[in-house]
Amino acid sequence: MRFVLEVDLDAGALAGEHRAAELGRILRYWGGSMKQVPLAVGEHQDLSDSDYVTVGSWRIED
C-alpha cells in the first residue's frame, strides 16, 4: 500500500511569491488531519490552497 500526495506548485496561491509558506500550510493541515482518515486503498481527497483553489490531491493505492 502506498500514500501519494501531489501538489501543483504553479497552481493557485502556490504560484505566488509565498509558495513555500503556502505549501507548508497545506502540508501541516493535511498532515494533522490524516489521523481522521481511513488509510485504505482507494481513499483520496483533493488539496486546496488558502483561497480554496484545488492545487493537488492525495490518494492511497495498492
In a structure prediction context, what are the per-residue pLDDT tens digits for the chain, which is 62 residues long? 999 999 999 999 999 999 999 999 999 988 888 899 999 999 999 999 999 999 999 999 99
pLDDT of residue 30: 86
Strand 54-61 and strand 2-7: the pairing is antiparallel
Residue 43 · residue 60 · CB < 8 Å: yes
pLDDT of residue 33: 86
pLDDT of residue 34: 87
Q: What is the pTM of this model?
A: 0.83
How far apart are alpha carbons 30 and 36 in whole angstroms? 10
How far apart are alpha carbons 50 and 42 in whole angstroms? 26
Sign of torsion over alpha carbons 5, 9, 15, 20: positive
Domain layout of the chain by residue ranges: 2-61
